[in-house]
A and B are shown apart, each in its own frame.
Chain A
Amino acid sequence: MEGTCSGRYGFIVCITHIENVSEGIITDDGTARAKFAVEYDCVAYRPFKNEVLDAVVTQVNKFGFFAEAGPLQLFVSNSLVPDDVKYVTDENCYKSDDGQITIGVDCEVRVKIVGMRIDANDIFCIATIKEDYLGLIGYAEGDAAVGAV
């Protein structure tokens, strides 16, 4: 179970406690295996729409950038990046007009989830940094706000 991902519960990170294991039922598929229903507590990692979280940029291109928050993959399209922050081909990063913000691979960004694609065993999120207090972390002095101006 651990390490799996379902659309319903998200990523099962680790099982912390097993509550109850039912009596086994021998399967009738001729393999002599048995099935058990197990109740357990676990740490699940599940994103929600409109949730704000921190992520690490993994890949940048002219259409936007990909970021990762643990096992979760996120994509921020260039239309969801503030208007004054543009893609710079030579450096393969997003840069603000005043040069203060540079978003490249391995940068930490604060994003808000705007959409999710939920498959049976995968979750992929579309996120934005085009709102107040989102964007590159550690830009503003003493706190993590970018859009605070």
Chain B
Amino acid sequence: MSGLACLKKSQTEDEDAQELKLGPDFSDAQCLSISEVRLVMEAMIYDYNNRNEDASSTNTQVFEKTLKYVQRFGGNVSQEAVQLIRDMLTKQNGLHTFEAAVVSNLRPVDYDEAKTLVPSLEAEGRASEEQIQRMLDEMANVRRFE
């Protein structure tokens, strides 16, 4: 038991969102933004309602609390806009999916705010200040014209 506990401890000590260390289990997982999770969850509810199936899997406390949270913080963004923002952040600007999710959730307005909230953006060899500023402006624009 103590061996297991040790393993667990060292695992979480290695984790640090600042340096994009998400641990072995999540190193190749896709990170979703709050808006994306909202789309997934609402699609699930829609499916269950349409098929009149037993909706036990959407009936848990975790599901309900998460749904409330993503509806409060996810904004009213269409699927197209969510897709556009995701492609822009990850494909055009080379952000890690974790960074893309955090940037899209927190919506920083300028470079200084972005690098404070997501310090890994500042690491060596990453996008320049101008590029990140342009990316943030573009993201705000997509949201504005929703």
Contacts and interface: CB of A to CB of B under 8 A. Distances in A.
B142 interface: no
State which size class the interface on B falls in: 35 or more
Interface in A1-47: 2-5, 7-9, 11-16, 43-46
A48 B17 contact: yes
A53 B63 CA distance: 18
A12 B105 contact: no
A56 interface: yes
Given A14-B44, A14-B58, A133-B117, A53 B105 contact: yes
Interface stretch (B66-74, B76-84, B85-93, B126-134): B66-74
B10 interface: no
A14 B40 contact: yes
A144 interface: yes
B57 A2 contact: yes
Instruction: State the majority secondary structure of interface residues on B.
Output: helix
A12 B23 CA distance: 17
Given A51-B17, A70-B65, A71-B62, A133 B57 contact: no
A49 B37 contact: no
Given A48-B22, A133-B117, A145-B113, A43 B16 contact: no
Interface in B101-123: 102, 105-109, 113, 116-119
B66 A70 contact: yes
Contacts of A49: 12, 15-17
Instruction: Name which of B25, B41, B44, B63 has the most chain A CB atoms within 10 A of its CB.
Output: B63
A111 B57 CA distance: 30
A4 B61 CA distance: 9
14 contacts: A2-B62, A3-B61, A13-B66, A16-B44, A45-B66, A46-B26, A48-B15, A70-B69, A113-B17, A118-B12, A131-B116, A144-B106, A145-B113, A148-B113
